[in-house]
Structure 1
Amino acid sequence: MSAIDPRITVGVDGSAGSTAAVAWAAKLASRRHLQLKIVHGLQIAGLYYGGGLSGIGAQTLFDAIQADGERAVADARGLAVSIDEDLVVTTELPNEPPVPMLIEESRHARLLVVGRTGADGFADMLLGGTAAAVVSHAHCPVAVVRGTTRPSATGPVAVGVDGGPNSEQAIAVAFEEASLRGVPLVAVHAWNDVTYEDAFGTARILPQPESLERDEDRLLSQRLAGWQEKYPEVEIRRVLVRDRPRHALLDVSEQAQLVVVGSRGRGGFTGMLLGSTSQALVQHAQCPVLVVRPELTA
């Protein structure tokens, strides 16, 4: 991996979602004494090839897209500076599609932030195939900030904990975030007592639910072991529920200021963003969601 600069990078497109992402990223950069880079992919090159445009028509569209991009970046920069006038802010408007541009930016950033609002802006990227491409290849953690959320300023950090290795880095990042923010950490472990055994989806109720709950409690304790010693100042609140993970995490997001989850499935973020838990969080969480790849930390 390339050397990581002391900065947070945020992608903007002028939507309400990206505005919320800029505000969130600027506040975080200010608190962490990091630089903030604002980027916008113009994606103009394709207009001249196979788009049926040439001459004056193409130039007019080029100018309009350029102007929209410059306006989006200027507005984002103004918002960031209004949050902290001493914040070091840089901007860039490369003539590149958003996906490869953001992936390349993630090589040098400590955190990549994108916004989401409804069915526009980065929403299509996050919920479609291009979203999977961006997040599955990002070289740093990615935060998704929805423009309609009202995150708690004093709420805890929450982390989803499961039995796989993918949650280990999420736990590490969540403890660090809770420590830096000076808030409790809610460790959520949810399981379902129904399992599907074959390709036809035959359901089987697992026996001895009390024994299963003890096993799940033991698993959660094992996952948190060692972190309490490393972060003694962080108050840990354990949430152990027999439910689908997405339900438990969405409930916690109503009071949290950040939910941290690890990537899952084949292809890193690909499996995670196409899965029901992550997709539900990206679409409906009431606070920003930070997704961490197994091999990377913030």
Structure 2
Amino acid sequence: MSNTPVIAAVDGSEHSLKALEWARAAAVRHGAALLIAHVLPDHAQLYAGRRASLHDPAQPGQFADPVEERIRALLGGGPELPDGIRYESLEGSVPEALRVVGSGARMLVMGSRGRGGFATLLLGSNSRAVATTAPCPVVVVPHAERSAAGGGEAGGAGGGGDPYGAAASAGRVVLGLHAAETPDDVLAFAFTEAAARGTAVQVVSAYAVPPAPTMVIDSPFAVIPPEGLADEGDGVPAEREMLRAQTERLAPYRERFPDVPVEQAAVPGDAAGRLVDTSHTAALVVVGRHHPRRRPRSLLMGSVANAVLQHARGPVAVVPALTDDA
């Protein structure tokens, strides 16, 4: 079993329990341990601090964690958790506590919205803060209402039909790639996930020069294999240059993961909207955390990662630059 755990952040809400299911399956796929982490609410932390300061032996030694009791009931019903799974109660603010525990983790999985916030909120403040600051990849699993909603409002795709070729992404790991500047860690995460799932990686990049309006409106993007990049093809020059840049950047990963099929797609202009569209059917959408022109260690999230987190209908992995040379 891998010594780099998958972490599931839970707060007892149905949203976090859905994320726990996703994390448990990921731990099985990767042969990794599963750590279930719950950041205690403020009143529990205040109680612990008060008891420690008063040194009152008459008070209970610990504040009962009802979330732990629920998790144990869900996973086995007994006092012992199944092998390879442990539970940990954390103190501090949610982003900071999860940032600390996430150091060295394979990934940290959480729901898109917890107990607090508005019912219509697409992304909770804690989910966004953790995705922005955690030292490991963060997978955000959307809540049921968001994942079940129709595609008409996502990414400006319009209602009905199969927007921008979303069906072509069914079951795949979709990678948002800036061919020149996305860190290697992001590509490695996407290919590792696809290999563990036994599925393909679909690579989506955007180019700046738009084609004619008739090509943009209600037209699916093309998924093109490398052998389809002959000079006499019909693609617009900017699209063909983007596909060639993709092919060059992906070459080491094709060699490293020879059993993972790769599909390439170049789209005009709006990378975030197209990635949101693919999220309806993709197994996972993978994006880098930072804007490619920002410092790798910046605490600001890039606009593409932020937009995909806000609107995706399926799980999204936000991957930071994990190495100094990434």
TM, length-normalised to structure 1? 0.74
How far residue 126 of structure 1 moved from its aligned partner, in angstroms, is 2.7
Unmatched segments (≥5 aa) in structure 1: 54-62, 195-208
Partner Cα separation in structure 2 for residue 210 and residue 41 of structure 1: 51
SS at match of 1:140: coil
* 2:257 aligned partner: 231
Please list the CA deviations of residues 203-255 of structure 1 after superposition, one character each: whole Å capped at 9, or x if unmatched. xxxxxx93322221221112211211221211111111113011110111111
Match of 1:192 among 208, 215, 218: 208
Check 1:88–1:283 CA distance in 2 against 1; reply closer, same or farther (3 A cut): same
How far residue 155 of structure 1 moved from its aligned partner, in angstroms, is 0.5
How far residue 138 of structure 1 moved from its aligned partner, in angstroms, is 2.1
Partner Cα separation in structure 2 for residue 111 and residue 21 of structure 1: 12
* 1:60 aligned partner: none
| CA RMSD after TM alignment | 3.4
* 2:307 aligned partner: 280
SS at match of 1:104: helix
* 1:219 aligned partner: 245
Does residue 27 (structure 1) correspond to residue 22 (structure 2)? The answer is: no
Partner Cα separation in structure 2 for residue 169 and residue 99 of structure 1: 22
How far residue 47 of structure 1 moved from its aligned partner, in angstroms, is 7.5
Check 1:79–1:165 CA distance in 2 against 1; reply closer, same or farther (3 A cut): farther
Does residue 178 (structure 1) correspond to residue 190 (structure 2)? The answer is: no
Query: Does the CA contact (< 8 Å) of 1:160 and 1:167 recur in 2?
Result: no
Partner Cα separation in structure 1 for residue 11 and residue 114 of structure 2: 14
More helix by share: 1
Partner Cα separation in structure 1 for residue 248 and residue 116 of structure 2: 42
Unmatched segments (≥5 aa) in structure 2: 51-59, 118-122, 149-166, 211-234
Identity of counterpart residues, as a percentage? 30
* 1:290 aligned partner: 317
Query: Does the CA contact (< 8 Å) of 1:39 and 1:73 recur in 2?
Result: no
Partner Cα separation in structure 2 for residue 137 and residue 155 of structure 1: 28
Range with greater deviation from structure 2 (174-183 or 29-38): 29-38
* 2:85 aligned partner: 89
Query: Does the CA contact (< 8 Å) of 1:258 and 1:290 recur in 2?
Result: yes
How far residue 183 of structure 1 moved from its aligned partner, in angstroms, is 0.6
Query: Does the CA contact (< 8 Å) of 2:283 and 2:314 recur in 1?
Result: yes
Check 1:87–1:282 CA distance in 2 against 1; reply closer, same or farther (3 A cut): farther
* 2:67 aligned partner: 72
Please list the CA deviations of residues 92-111 of structure 1 after superposition, one character each: whole Å capped at 9, or x if unmatched. 11332212210110114221
SS at match of 1:35: strand
